[in-house]
């Protein structure tokens, strides 16, 4: 029976993202802006751009997900949906986990799929695409989960946008480091595998911590 | 445990303990600074600038310890619903943040003569920087949420998530640092340090620790007073 | 033959932001009974309902819910209709209802739309509904999953005469089936209530 609730919640969030445009459009615009502005800022040196590309792409992905974090629970909190969800049979930690996964499906995952090809604007080697896709798709789940912590912690705040960035940024540091390390390791003598393993470990860890932390924060707001 | 949980008992205890704490702090600073500035030798490589270490290292380690203490207070608040635990975590944060800032500032001052630049993305400094962000985020939560019980509940979670994040950041930054820079120049501590440098360092560490305790008890006292004031004001509104 | 439900509150107190909203609230509600909460603004009617709905923890006292479903808490056997709608403006009326039906592990039946005459509006986006129509939509949540305790915070606000009649019918039917309801109201609900709790009397 739990599945019915989870499916309902995921379907609703996807339908909402589709109806309202969600944050995906704005986030995509942000990534595109970075891809266009970086060469304008640094000059069209192809070798330099190629060297900086993976880091810039990860940065763009990370910040664009960050932009959508503060809206993750805000509406549901304000319109009383969370009240009803708290009264449901579904454990509240599963509610927050499901919402984070819905966020991943509607925002982070599409961005992680679209960003690597956009890197061609920064002169990345097409041979880099598979590892970029792999690391970004893996890392984007951690990004969504960690964003859910920030979103929950600021759900009841009118202007939570800036605070959310301050709170999530430290949590995103390891994801950024291992994400970029995984995407660039094969350019040097190293293998991407250790960084990918670390990235997976981070994702698993957020999978454990984020639902608990978000649920606890939202409960505090509902009280 | 229950005895200390009572704010009145705590206030009495704090009031009695504070003069001793300040005295110990002053003594430790006097001895530590004498050792650091006078008796300890200049480093054969770094010269006199090595004396920055006697502020930098204690401030940095205390900043880290205070954050861990904040998380422990928060966990105690969740598990035992101890009425003073939230106040303790709340008042520890600004002190920890100042220590953290001190560590960053002295690190930067150290960097100028050592590396010829005010800031280097050294693994240790970078981790400190992230810790500073964690402190700022934690304090911002108390600032932005008006209702104290709600702010306390949210702040607990932020502190605990933060403390889980600290070792991960530390590990990842070390990883990143070894990728980009061969070795850290800031190498110290461990068994290689000479006794003439070690004892002033440990004394300064203790001095910073007792300074924290004194500041912490003082600000907890005012925090408890503020709470009482707020309660009285609310009662007044309720009776109107 | 299952035992009839009973909801018993003893010595309840509620605190919000360090202030005691109410204290020493006692009542016993049996199956088929309706209790009306009365009191001025700020007397704690909404706080009491939220407390019963599990959205707040009591500062003191206990709530016993007897003979309900053993594995579920009171909140999990209750419907709470608050001031906000818990419906999404971007979704249609039927989509909102379907979501809550599925989330609450039930299935949408025709009665849900019919209860408040929402059939004609079913495929309209909730955004386009008037305040009264939105209120009817959130009240419809009562019909989508069977739950034995209804907690209603000013359910009549914004309802026209016909909808009020529908609400009365719905509550009466619920009570007749052995459920119970607690409603905070300023106006007459139009149903004979068995209990009235005056929140002002408890300082």
User: What distance in Å separates residue B217's CA from the closest CA in chain C?
Assistant: 23
Phi-psi domain of B23 (left: phi exceeds 0; alpha: psi -120 through 50; beta: other): alpha
Neighboring chain A residues of C53 at a CB cutoff of 8 Å? 83, 87
Neighboring chain C residues of B226 at a CB cutoff of 8 Å? none
Partner-chain contact C95 A15, CB within 8 Å: yes
For B152, which residue in chain C has the nearest alpha carbon? Answer: C17
Mean pLDDT for all residues in chain B? 87
Which A residues 169-208 touch B at CB under 8 Å?
169-171, 173-174, 177-178, 181, 198, 202, 205
User: What distance in Å separates residue B166's CA from the closest CA in chain A?
Assistant: 9
The pairing of strands C6-16 and C19-30 is antiparallel
Using the Cβ of C55 and the Cβ atoms of chain A, whether some distance falls under 8 Å is answered with yes
User: What distance in Å separates residue A179's CA from the closest CA in chain B?
Assistant: 11
**Averaged over B37-55, what is the pLDDT?**
83
Partner-chain contact B161 A169, CB within 8 Å: no
Cα of C11 vs its chain's centroid, Å: 22
**Averaged over C6-26, what is the pLDDT?**
85
Neighboring chain A residues of B141 at a CB cutoff of 8 Å? 153, 163, 167
The pLDDT tens digits for A66-76 are 989 988 999 99
Q: Lowest-pLDDT range, A31-35, B199-203, C14-18, C35-39?
A: C14-18
Q: What is the pLDDT of residue A184?
A: 86
User: What distance in Å separates residue A187's CA from the closest CA in chain B?
Assistant: 13
Q: Which long-range contacts (CB under 8 A, 24 or more apart) does A18-23 make?
A: A19/C90, A19/C91, A20/C90, A22/A68, A22/A106, A22/A107, A23/A67, A23/A68, A23/A71, A23/A107
State both tokens at A147: 């964003």
Using the Cβ of C134 and the Cβ atoms of chain A, whether some distance falls under 8 Å is answered with no
Name the residue facing B179 among A163, A174, A181 (closest C-beta).
Answer: A181
The pLDDT tens digits for B156-186 are 999 999 999 999 999 999 888 777 654 444 4
Residues in Cβ contact with B126 at an 8 Å cutoff, skipping those fewer than 6 apart: B173, B177
Query: Is residue A216's pLDDT more than 80?
Result: yes
What angle (nearest 5°) sits at the alpha carbon of residue B229, between those of residues B226 and B233? 140
**Averaged over B31-42, what is the pLDDT?**
88
Using the Cβ of B132 and the Cβ atoms of chain A, whether some distance falls under 8 Å is answered with no
The pLDDT tens digits for B83-112 are 799 999 999 999 999 999 999 999 888 888
Q: What is the pLDDT of residue B240?
A: 58
Partner-chain contact B238 C18, CB within 8 Å: no
Question: Which of C105, C125, C145 best tests the A interface by mutation, with the highest count of A CBs <10 A?
Answer: C105
Name all chains with 3 or more CB-CB pairs below 8 Å to chain C: A, B
Q: What is the pLDDT of residue B184?
A: 42
Distances (CA, A) of C16 to A168, B235, C1: 29, 12, 41
What angle (nearest 5°) sits at the alpha carbon of residue B74, between those of residues B73 and B75? 90
Neighboring chain A residues of B133 at a CB cutoff of 8 Å? 166, 169-170
How many angstroms separate the CA atoms of A191 and C178, rounded?
A: 68
Q: What is the pLDDT of residue B238?
A: 62
The pLDDT tens digits for A42-92 are 988 999 999 899 999 999 999 999 989 988 999 999 999 999 999 999 999
Partner-chain contact C19 B147, CB within 8 Å: no
pLDDT band at A164 (very low <50, low <70, confident <90, very high): very high
Partner-chain contact A8 C86, CB within 8 Å: no
The model carries a pTM of 0.91
Beta bridge partners of C14: C22
Query: Is residue B189's pLDDT more than 70?
Result: no
Task: Establish how many alpha carbons lie within 13 A of residue B90's alpha carbon, considering only the half-sphere containing its beta carbon.
Answer: 27
Q: Lowest-pLDDT range, A127-131, A135-139, A186-190, B205-209?
A: A186-190
Using the Cβ of A213 and the Cβ atoms of chain B, whether some distance falls under 8 Å is answered with yes
CB B176 within 8 A of CB A177: yes
Report the complex ipTM.
0.91
Q: What is the pLDDT of residue B4?
A: 54
Query: Is residue C55's pLDDT more than 80?
Result: yes
């Amino acid at each position: 029976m739990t599945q019915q609730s989870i499916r309902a919640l995921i379907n609703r969030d996807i339908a909402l993202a589709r109806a309202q445009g969600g944050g995906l459009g704005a986030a995509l615009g942000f990534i595109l802006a970075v891809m266009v502005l970086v060469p304008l800022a640094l000059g069209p040196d192809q070798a330099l751009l190629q060297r900086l590309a993976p880091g810039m792409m990860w940065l763009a992905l990370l910040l664009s997900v960050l932009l959508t974090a503060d809206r993750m629970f805000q509406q549901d909190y304000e319109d009383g949906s969370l009240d009803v969800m708290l009264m449901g049979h579904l454990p509240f930690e599963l509610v927050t986990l499901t919402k984070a996964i819905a966020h991943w499906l509607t925002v982070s995952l599409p961005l992680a799929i679209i960003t690597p090809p956009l890197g061609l604007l920064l002169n990345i080697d097409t041979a880099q695409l598979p590892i970029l896709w792999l690391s970004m798709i893996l890392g984007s789940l951690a990004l969504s989960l960690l964003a859910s912590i920030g979103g929950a912690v600021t759900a009841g705040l009118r202007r939570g946008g800036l605070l959310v960035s301050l709170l999530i940024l430290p949590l995103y540091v390891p994801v950024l480091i291992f994400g970029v390390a995984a995407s660039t390791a094969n350019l040097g003598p190293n293998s991407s595998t250790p960084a990918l393993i670390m990235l997976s470990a981070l994702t698993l860890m957020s999978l454990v911590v984020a639902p608990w932390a978000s649920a606890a924060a939202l409960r505090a707001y509902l009280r | 445990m229950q005895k200390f949980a009572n704010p009145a008992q705590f206030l009495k205890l704090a009031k009695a303990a504070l003069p001793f704490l300040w005295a110990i702090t002053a003594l430790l600073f006097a001895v530590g600074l004498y050792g650091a500035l006078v008796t300890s030798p200049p480093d054969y490589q770094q010269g006199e600038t090595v004396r920055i270490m006697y502020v930098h290292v204690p401030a940095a380690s205390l900043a880290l310890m205070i954050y861990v203490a904040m998380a422990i207070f928060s966990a105690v608040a969740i598990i035992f619903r101890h009425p003073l635990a939230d106040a303790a975590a709340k008042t520890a944060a600004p002190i920890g943040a100042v220590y953290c800032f001190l560590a960053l500032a002295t690190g930067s001052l150290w960097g100028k003569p050592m590396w010829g630049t005010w800031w280097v993305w050294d693994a240790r400094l970078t981790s400190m920087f992230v810790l500073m962000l964690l402190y700022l985020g934690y304090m911002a939560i108390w600032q932005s949420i008006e209702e104290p019980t709600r702010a306390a509940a949210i702040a607990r979670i932020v502190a605990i998530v933060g403390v889980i994040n600290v070792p991960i950041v530390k590990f990842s930054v070390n990883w990143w640092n070894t990728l980009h820079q061969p070795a850290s120049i800031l190498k110290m501590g461990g068994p290689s340090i000479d006794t003439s440098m070690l004892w002033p360092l440990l004394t300064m560490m203790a001095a910073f620790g007792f300074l924290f305790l004194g500041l912490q008890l003082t600000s907890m006292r005012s925090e408890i007073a503020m709470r009482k004031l707020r309660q009285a004001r609310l009662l007044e509104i309720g009776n109107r | 033959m299952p035992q009839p439900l009973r909801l018993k509150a003893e010595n309840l107190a509620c605190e919000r932001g360090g202030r005691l909203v109410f204290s020493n609230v006692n009542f016993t509600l049996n199956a088929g009974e309706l209790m009306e909460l009365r009191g001025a603004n700020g007397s704690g009617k909404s706080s009491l309902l939220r407390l019963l709905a599990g959205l707040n923890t009591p500062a003191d006292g206990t709530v016993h819910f007897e003979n309900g479903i053993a594995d579920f808490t009171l909140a999990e056997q209750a419907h709470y209709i608050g001031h906000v709608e818990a419906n999404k403006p971007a979704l249609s009326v039927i989509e909102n209802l379907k979501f809550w039906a599925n989330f609450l592990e039930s299935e949408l039946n025709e009665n849900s739309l019919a209860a408040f005459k929402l059939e004609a509006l079913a495929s309209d986006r909730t955004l386009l509904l008037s305040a009264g129509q939105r209120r009817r939509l959130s009240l419809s949540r009562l019909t989508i999953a069977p739950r034995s305790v209804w907690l209603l915070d000013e359910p009549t606000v914004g309802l026209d005469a016909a909808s009020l009649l529908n609400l009365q019918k719905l509550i009466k039917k619920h009570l007749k089936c052995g459920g119970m309801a607690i409603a905070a109201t300023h106006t007459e609900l139009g149903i004979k209530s068995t209990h009235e709790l005056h929140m002002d009397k408890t300082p």
